[in-house]
């Protein structure tokens, strides 16, 4: 039995039946990491000794006949911009290369309380600035389906770890598609919850009004179980919303008769790879056969999404990264004679090219004389985009789109063309600007045997609708 290929809920059943031990599961996954990691580079750090000790503790609990929580004893990988007390948090940047966190993020506290086992911290684009995990100071992650291709980004390490069997579950963060796009490229399930559904306390901020932590899993069921644990109000996060947290596993129902599904015409345009469009259309046909009602809709401000996102996101990134000055923590330049030189040299030497690009762009759009022309205008367009979704959801229950216009591209292919790289997230950015939830699930493979992702969007705090449709589709594919 290949334990590394099993889903979390499958492992849970075997643990409860005492057919396997938690130590066996954790050991096998570390064996897979040892075998594959040199080629994939999904992790930046590992916590093998701690993980094996925790596994033994859980096995002792099972021997005593004590009940296991749904994800207790399940191995999980954590994106390296989410802090764990006593462990490195580098954000894949030189400027935080030696930083050890003194506290736990709220999501980490909740995972610990539920007995999940941390395998390590995963690679990412530096400070989550990227769509390919090539912008890591520690080198790129490779796609398990084709080592010459990217895994997507910025949560590429988390997606690659789950896809390669180097973790059963993972957490990522999504600012403009950074969970959903790598999930699509790596053939796994990636959920961006509603903004405010999951606490951001302990997430190193990229763009504070857009960032959201979410699950990357092997199937939809695991995603629901994981959101049950990490979701919910947190007084430590001023953007956390105090709304009831339902049991998302109750939405795992393969029944969608009468469900109204919107297809935005702006997402089905030229520029999409033919195979991507074909597989999404096949999924639409399957849903029609299951009794769903399909309706074409319009999200008229979609074309402004990329420009709006890169004004707002870089402005917020510029403000958030101002704290990395070489004084309090992180990298400090040794070639400085004055305080001003210390700031300048530490940031010049500590940040990579993409981080510098975004800091400069964000500083520019916030500067005197340009604030109204760019940042303020970007916020106004963001409001119009949110209103587009509100109008659409009066007609339909959910919206279905491709996750990405293409399958995984080759490493190095877009590094010299930032605009082409930014367009990788053209279908995912709008959900972050509107604050709504979205999921990417695998819906097929290209002729080159690369995964293709399908995206489902729903109104704010309506993740149940997403899970119901995603579970139905997943069940239909398996039939």
Q: Compute how many other C-beta atoms are within 10 angstroms of the C-beta atom of residue 408.
A: 30
Two structure tokens written together for 417: 């063309």
Distance (Å, whole) CA 128 – CA 204: 9
Specify whether 154 is catalytic.
yes
CB-based burial of residue 121 (10 Å sphere; 0-12 exposed, 13-18 middle, 19+ buried)? buried
Q: Please, how many CA atoms are within 13 Å of residue 401, restricted to the half-sphere of its CB?
A: 30
| Whether 162 contacts 144, CB under 8 Å | no
Q: Where are the alpha helices (DSSP H) in 403-461?
A: 418-422, 429-434
Q: Which DSSP helix (H) or strand (E) runs through 296?
A: strand 293-297
Which residues have C-beta within 8 Å of that of residue 144, sequence separation ≥ 6?
A: 36, 40, 151, 160, 163, 164, 186
Instruction: Tell me which residue has tokens 């149940």.
Output: 464
Q: Pick the catalytic residue: 155, 178, 223, 251?
A: 178
Two structure tokens written together for 472: 């139905």
Q: Pick the catalytic residue: 21, 93, 136, 154?
A: 154
Specify whether 79 is catalytic.
yes
Two structure tokens written together for 383: 């409001």
Two structure tokens written together for 349: 């030497």
For residue 376, give the 3-state DSSP assignment: helix
Residue 162's DSSP bridge partners are none
Specify whether 318 is catalytic.
no
Distance (Å, whole) CA 468 – CA 250: 9
Instruction: Tell me which residue has tokens 């950015």.
Output: 429
| Strands of 451-457's sheet in order across | 43-46, 117-122, 75-79, 169-174, 212-217, 189-192, 438-445, 451-457, 398-402, 260-264, 293-297
- Which residues are known catalytic residues? 79, 154, 178
């Amino acid at each position: 039995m290949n334990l590394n290929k099993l889903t979390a809920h499958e492992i849970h059943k075997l643990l409860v039946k005492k057919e396997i031990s938690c130590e066996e599961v954790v050991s096998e996954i570390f064996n897979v990491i040892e075998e594959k990691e040199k080629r994939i580079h999904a992790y930046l750090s590992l916590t093998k000794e701690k993980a094996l000790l925790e596994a033994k503790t859980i096995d002792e609990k099972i021997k005593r006949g004590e009940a296991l929580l749904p994800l207790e004893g399940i191995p999980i990988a954590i994106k390296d911009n989410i802090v764990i007390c006593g462990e490195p948090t580098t954000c894949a940047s030189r400027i935080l290369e030696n930083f050890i966190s003194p506290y736990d993020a709220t999501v980490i506290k909740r995972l610990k309380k539920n007995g999940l086992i941390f395998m390590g911290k995963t690679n990412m684009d530096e400070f989550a600035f990227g769509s390919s995990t090539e912008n890591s100071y520690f080198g790129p992650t490779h796609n398990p389906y084709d080592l010459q291709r990217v895994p997507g980004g910025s949560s590429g390490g988390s997606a690659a770890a789950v896809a390669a069997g180097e973790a059963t579950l993972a957490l990522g963060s999504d600012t403009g598609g950074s969970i959903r796009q790598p999930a699509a490229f790596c053939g796994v399930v990636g959920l961006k919850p509603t903004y405010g559904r999951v606490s951001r306390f302990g997430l190193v901020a990229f763009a504070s009004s857009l960032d959201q932590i979410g699950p990357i899993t092997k199937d939809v069921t695991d995603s629901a179980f994981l959101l049950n644990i990490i979701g919910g109000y947190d007084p430590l996060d001023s953007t956390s919303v105090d709304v009831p947290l339902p049991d998302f596993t109750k939405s795992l129902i393969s029944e969608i008769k009468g469900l109204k599904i919107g297809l935005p015409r702006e997402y089905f345009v030229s520029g999409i790879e033919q195979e991507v469009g074909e597989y999404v259309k096949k999924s639409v046909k399957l849903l029609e056969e299951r009794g769903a009602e399909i309706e074409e809709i319009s999200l008229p401000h979609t074309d402004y999404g990329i420009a709006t996102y890169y004004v707002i996101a870089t402005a917020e990134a510029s403000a958030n990264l101002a704290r990395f000055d070489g004084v309090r923590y992180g990298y400090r330049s040794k070639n400085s004679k004055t305080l001003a030189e210390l700031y300048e040299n530490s940031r010049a030497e500590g940040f990579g090219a993409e981080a510098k690009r975004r800091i400069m762009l964000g500083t520019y759009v916030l500067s005197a004389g340009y604030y109204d022309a760019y940042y303020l205008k970007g916020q106004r367009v963001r409001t119009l985009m949110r209103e587009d979704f509100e109008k659409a959801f009066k007609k339909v229950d959910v919206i279905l789109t491709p996750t990405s216009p293409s399958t995984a591209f080759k490493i190095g292919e877009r590094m010299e063309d930032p605009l082409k790289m930014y367009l990788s997230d053209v279908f995912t950015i709008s959900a972050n600007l509107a604050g709504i939830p979205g999921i990417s699930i695998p819906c097929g493979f290209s002729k080159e045997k690369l995964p293709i992702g399908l995206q489902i969007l729903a109104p704010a705090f309506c993740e149940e609708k997403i899970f119901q449709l995603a579970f139905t589709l997943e069940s239909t594919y398996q039939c």
